[in-house]
Chains A and B, each alone.
Chain A
Amino acid sequence: MDYIIQQIINGISVGSIYALIALGYTMVYGIIKLINFAHGDVFMVGSFVGLFTAKILAAQGFPPMVVFIGALIISMTASAVLGVVIERTAYKPLRKVSRIAVLITAVGVSFLLENGGIYILGPQAKGFPEILEKQQFNLFGSVQVDSNQVMILVVTVILMVVLQYIVHFTKTGKAMRAVSYDLEAARLMGINVDRTISYTFAIGSALAAAAGVIFGMTYNSVDPLMGVIPGLKAFVAAVLGGIGSVPGALVGGLLLGVIETGVTSVGYSLWRDGVVFAVLILILIFRPSGLFGKNVREKV
């Protein structure tokens, strides 16, 4: 029993990272119906910005908490800017053309970020500094939680609450919901659609960057291709929860993390990614709108 609870706790901490990335997918997909393949690489850039910021701040002798929050905020800001730049230069000229062309562009941007990263930073993995010292807490029995897992959960919950507030209680959030409901009607009602889409990219990218910093602190290693697999899995998480739904992304991410840890803990770690994709296919076949999605009837 203790073992199972322990695995669930581990799964939730992995899943929180997926959930944060999945939010970016779900928001962008909800608004412009684009699978933003570059999102996983924005996560990678966020991780690297966090790494460099943490190193610079730590060298100045700031206390660990300040270094952590500083790295988080600076990498979120930088990635938000990157997300908006990508949207403005690569996706905006393609609003009116076929979806497949935009998808290819997204893949192109993804390749550009990955290989630009390899060109600038080198292909080797870099060590992520240990910003906050890890501590183990015993909960009950043999169940343990380390401070890093607590930090992941706290950051994820805070960001989710902020996001829920933005989406439901601000003017920008209202505009986002309107645009995702019907882009043309929103434009007719005087909503600045382009600006709203840029905001969506900024918020999604900032969340991915936060996930990147957390990822670096958990696994202590970052490299330019690190975004590919978590990016894909986060998309699966977004589909699992119901694409376009914010709570869906959270639940999908956590669920995927738990499933993955479960598969690993019974000794099938090599099949882990296969199980993730099998879950994706099953969900798509039996409940294409995801766990939290609305069932949209096709209009004839």
Chain B
Amino acid sequence: MFKNSRNFWVGSAAAFVIYVVIQLLFNQGVLNDVAESTIILICINIILAVSLNLINGFTGQFSMGHAGFMSVGAYMSAILTLDFNVPFPVALIAGGCLAAVFGMMIGIPSLRLKGDYLAMATLGFGEIIRIVLLNTEYVGGASGLSGIPTQSSWTWVFVFTFLTVVLISNFVNSIHGKACIAIRENEIAAEAMGINTTQYKVIAFVIGAFFAGVAGGLSAHKFYVITPTSFNFIKSFEILVIVVLGGLGSTSGAILGAIVLTLLFTWLQDFPEIRMIIYSLVLILMMIFRPSGLLGTREFTLDLFKRKGKKSDESVRSSS
């Protein structure tokens, strides 16, 4: 997203302006509680989508267990604040760290698997986490944990969303990120060029899982109650759909996808009977007419606004 430092600073300033404006709107009472929930949900989905995009979009490792990482972070941070009175941000980061450990555990089998097989293995892994939670009395079993303090304020959610986007886009633009992209493009060639594919695949899983865990913690501390069922593979699909719809391999695409789909979902709440039918039709039609997602692998940068000539020049080059 931040191809150069100018983009980075302009992006950060824009994010800060968005933060202040929304905070003012809350203070003035222009945005009600429903709007606040929606905005926080958008941010949580942005964290999930951007982190999954690192694994799926940039490294090309097809993971479908993101809800599993999310649940690890959610449960860990909820237990820490509930039973041990740990401060909220520390609990979030601890949740993220535990999720990262799970990410490493999933990353290791991924060294032997690729494509659909990896997808199924990660899906199975996520489901196993869910079943273990379901059968553990300490975390409430099927009824889950409730009474979690609602501490995910707009400020906290914004801070963590901002950090996620900055850290992941900087990672992607670093030399390590280029290595990840090389693995996505052609694993064998990347290995032949001396990239330690094993190491980078595990790194992608660990970073992705960490932020998914943080997002899980944020959502647990927003919605007061967590159950194992809220982190089943349908949740993983939801995140995957956001990423694919936004454009695999584009951080700004993931953000755009999270905003569009969360708004669509919130809007569809008004039609409970046909909500999922419309949603699935949108999915199918989107994929048929725009299979590479809204942005493809392109990033939304400032250059998009000016110097049209340069842009068309680039598109000619990339198509040739």
Contacts and interface: CB of A to CB of B under 8 A. Distances in A.
Interface in B262-297: 273-277, 279-281, 283-284, 287-288, 291-292
Given A100-B62, A108-B283, A280 B288 contact: no
Interface string A221-249: 00000000000100110010000000000
Main secondary structure of the interface of B (DSSP, over half): helix
A76 B86 CA distance: 58
A94 B291 contact: yes
Contacts of A97: 291-292
Contacts, number: 118
B278 to A, nearest CB: 9
Contacts of B281: 108, 112
A78 to B, nearest CB: 20
A33 interface: yes
A127 interface: no
A115 B288 contact: no
Q: Which of B109, B113, B134, B291 has the most CB of A within 10 A?
A: B291
B128 A274 contact: yes
Nearest to B289: A93
B131 A35 contact: no
B188 interface: yes
Contacts of B274: 119
Q: Which of B56, B120, B132, B188 counts the most chain A CB atoms within 10 A?
A: B120
Given A270-B134, A281-B125, A288 B117 contact: yes
B89 interface: no
Query: Per DSSP, are chain A's interface residues mostly helix, strand or loop, or mixed?
Result: helix
With a 10 A CB-CB cut-off, give which of A103, A108, A114, A115 has the most chain B CB atoms.
A108
A298 B308 CA distance: 43
A105 B62 CA distance: 16
A113 to B, nearest CB: 9
Interface in A35-49: 35
Interface of A: 29, 33, 35, 90, 93-94, 97-105, 107-112, 114-116, 118-119, 232, 235-236, 239, 270-271, 273-274, 277-278, 280-281, 284-285, 288, 298, 300
7 contacts: A94-B291, A97-B291, A101-B244, A105-B287, A232-B123, A239-B120, A281-B109
Interface of B: 56, 62, 109, 112-113, 115-117, 119-121, 123-125, 127-128, 131-132, 134-135, 188, 233, 237, 240-241, 244-245, 248, 273-277, 279-281, 283-284, 287-288, 291-292
